[in-house]
Structure 1
C-alpha cells in the first residue's frame, strides 16, 4: 500500500492507494517462475516530487502555480534518473505497476478529494 497525505485546511488526511492486486499479481508471477536474485518492481514513468505535486494540484482543482520548486541543498545533488530499472521484470514478461500519476488520480477520486 502506498501512503499518501493531503493537507485539508487545518488537518492532514493520510490514506493509502490500494495496489494489493498489482503487487499480488507480480509476486505470484515471481514465485511461479521461481526467480532467483533481485528483481526491481517499480513504475518506470519517473516523476519528481515537484511534478507530482503540480499534477495533484491540477487534478484536485487547485492552482498548480502555487507549488513552488525548490533547489537541492548545496552538495546534495541528485542523479538525473533516480528510479529503479525493471529489466528483470520485463524479461519475465511481467508488466510493471501503473504510472504514479494514474494511481494518484484514481486514489484522489476514490477518496473524493477531487
Structure 2
C-alpha cells in the first residue's frame, strides 16, 4: 500500500470508502466544487465537524456560475416546489450562503 504524506507531515495510508446513490454523489460533488477544496479535504472537514471556509478563486466562481445556471434551468421547469426538489433547494441554499460569504469577504 502506498503511503501519502500530507502538508502537515502526517502519513495518510488508511483508506475510507463508502457507497452513495447517484443523486448523493452529485450533491457531494456540487458541495466540493463550491467549497474550492479537494474532495478528500472537504469530506474530512465535514466528517470531523470542522468549519469549511470558502476562499474565492476563479475555480470557485466558475463553479458558482455553473451551479446557478443549472439551478436556473431547473427552476424554469418547475411549477411548484415539492419534496422531490429538496436536493435542488439544498444546493440553492449552499450557493446563496457561499455567494453571501464571498460578498462579505470582498467588502
Structure with higher RCO (Cα < 8 A, 6+ apart):
1
Shared fold (TM-score, shorter chain, > 0.5): no
TM-score (norm 2): 0.31
Greater strand share, 1 or 2? 1
